[in-house]
Amino acid sequence: MARNKDGLTKALAEIPAIREEFYANVYIPGTGQELNQSLERAGRVADFLEFAEVMVLDALERKESCGCHLREESQTEEHEAKRDDVHYSHVTVWEHRGVGQPPLLHQEPLEFEAVTPSQRSYK
Amino acid sequence: MAAKNISITVKIWRQANETAKGCLGTYALKEISTDMSFLEMLDVLNEQLTLEGKEPVVFDHDCREGICGTCGAVVDGIAHGPEQGTTLCQLHMRHFKDGQVICIEPFRAKAFPLVRDLMVDRSAFDRIIQAGGFVSINAGSAPDANTVAVPQQQAEQAMDAAACIGCGACVASCPNAAAMLFTSAKISQLALMPQGRPERKRRALSMVAAMDEEGFGNCSNHRECEQVCPKKISIRHIARMNREYLAAALFGE
């Protein structure tokens, strides 16, 4: 799986439309007063549609390649994931501020004492 | 066998909650592929009901590969349906004929209160497991091979007992709604292994007590449980459980 700026930007533009379509067309039989598996599943889809947007936003923000997050723009000459620890050695937490509102970025720097991150090599 | 489409009629137990009056709902299904699993057929029905503005049938399911023990219903009077050694999710529509009428009911037992439609509350099983308690040996990391000697025959028997997925078909099929096949599989699994020996007496006493406490009946050797068990657990384990219980009750800890 590879990601790039164009693809992620396109996804970020499409997700709100899919979410709006979901809320406009969703039909949930029954009520919330009793066990309702349809309601449970609709709730999950709604969660996924919010979560997908945050994931895409985070993938777009992290311009380095790291772990299974491979940004096509950031690769070594041998097409392996190229890290950028100068700019991205941190954990990102996105604060939800309401559906459709841009989430707030929080960063917590990663400090390595015993080992230092290095370029992955299978050779 | 090439897939084909069949039309069937399903009669499904509909009940809004534990205290509501229930009845069988009749639904016609067309173009059901024989390659579908039984639960996929229910998915098709639920989609059809939703599109018609009706409430879908509530049923439990999770892994859909026969290993989690979440699914289960009584199909034409047989828990998990007509195929032996098969969970409901692994039962396929190729075992049914075009035009067949299929009756689907929940696992009924006093200790399994009905939640809705085909879903029952099987948390009584969890409480029996909890009553089993801990093993005092260090189970933290995998030991080196052969450091704990286990005779091959006992290892095989323990493995057979460990195959129980706790689905509750045994309870649903038993005329006494006994949970003895389930409980005995769990007791056997540990009693047969050296790791389970230190607590075996206490475990047998408290798991049997928990089983009685939950309102399950006792075994009267009908062997219906063995017939429907998707993992083919043998009632030999019930005999072992009774021996474990007797030894613990007579000779104490």
The string of pLDDT tens digits covering residues B225-246 is 999 999 999 999 999 999 999 9
pLDDT(A100) > 80: no
| Amino acid letter for position B111 | A
Taking CA–CA distances from A29, the nearest residue in chain B reads B55
Of the residues B14, B45, B58, the best mutation for testing chain A's interface (the one with the most A CB atoms within 10 Å of its CB) is B58
Tell whether A21 is covered by a domain.
yes
The tally of domains found in chain B comes to 2
**Chain A contact present for B49, CB below 8 A:** yes
Min mean pLDDT across B11-25, B55-69, B128-142 is at B128-142
The tally of domains found in chain A comes to 1
Mean pLDDT score, B179-199: 95
Helices in chain B by DSSP H: which ranges?
A: 38-51, 123-132, 152-162, 169-173, 180-191, 200-213, 224-228, 236-251
List pLDDT tens digits, range A6-29: 999 999 999 999 999 999 999 999
Q: Do B58 and A29 touch (CB under 8 A)?
A: no
Tell whether B116 is covered by a domain.
no
Average per-residue pLDDT for chain B: 95
Please tell me whether residues B36 and B71 are part of one structural domain: yes
pLDDT attached to residue A119: 83
pLDDT attached to residue B253: 64
pLDDT attached to residue B144: 84
Tell whether A122 is covered by a domain.
no
CA nearest to B190, candidates B177, B199, B178: B199
Q: How many CA atoms lie within 13 A of A91 on its CB side?
A: 5
For residue B246, give its domain range: 122-251
Let me know: does B172 contact B72? Beta carbons within 8 Å. Answer: yes
Percent with pLDDT over 70 in chain B = 99
**What CATH number is given to the structural domain containing B156?**
1.10.1060.10
List pLDDT tens digits, range B119-166: 999 999 999 999 999 888 777 787 788 888 899 999 999 999 999 999
**What CATH number is given to the structural domain containing B39?**
3.10.20.30
pLDDT(B86) > 90: yes
Which residues on A lie below 8 Å from B116 (Cβ)?
34-35
Q: Count other Cβ atoms within 10 Å, centred on residue B101.
A: 12
B218 phi, psi to nearest 5 deg? -115, 160
Tell whether B117 is covered by a domain.
no
Please tell me whether residues B227 and B155 are part of one structural domain: yes
Please tell me whether residues B64 and B147 are part of one structural domain: no
Cα(A41)–Cα(A45) distance, rounded to whole angstroms?
6
Average per-residue pLDDT for chain A: 93
Last residue in a domain, options B105, B136, B159: B105
The beta-carbon neighbor of A29 closest among B16, B55, B116 is B55
Please tell me whether residues B156 and B201 are part of one structural domain: yes
pLDDT(B189) > 80: yes
**Chain A contact present for B129, CB below 8 A:** no
**Chain A contact present for B16, CB below 8 A:** yes
CA nearest to B124, candidates B219, B214, B217: B214
For residue A95, give its domain range: 5-109
Cα(B54)–Cα(B48) distance, rounded to whole angstroms?
9
Tell whether A116 is covered by a domain.
no
Please tell me whether residues B144 and B246 are part of one structural domain: yes
Tell whether B110 is covered by a domain.
no
Q: What is the pLDDT confidence band of residue A4, given thresholds at 50, 70 and 90?
A: very high
Mean pLDDT score, B73-92: 97
pLDDT attached to residue A114: 94
Residues 6+ apart with CB under 8 A from A97: A103, A104
Please tell me whether residues B26 and B142 are part of one structural domain: no
Mean pLDDT score, B190-196: 92
**Chain B contact present for A38, CB below 8 A:** yes
Tell whether A63 is covered by a domain.
yes
**What CATH number is given to the structural domain containing A84?**
1.20.58
pLDDT attached to residue B51: 94
B175, with CB counted inside 10 A (0-12, 13-18, 19+), is exposed
Strand B101-105 to strand B5-14: parallel, antiparallel, or no bridges (unpaired)? Answer: parallel
| Amino acid letter for position B200 | R
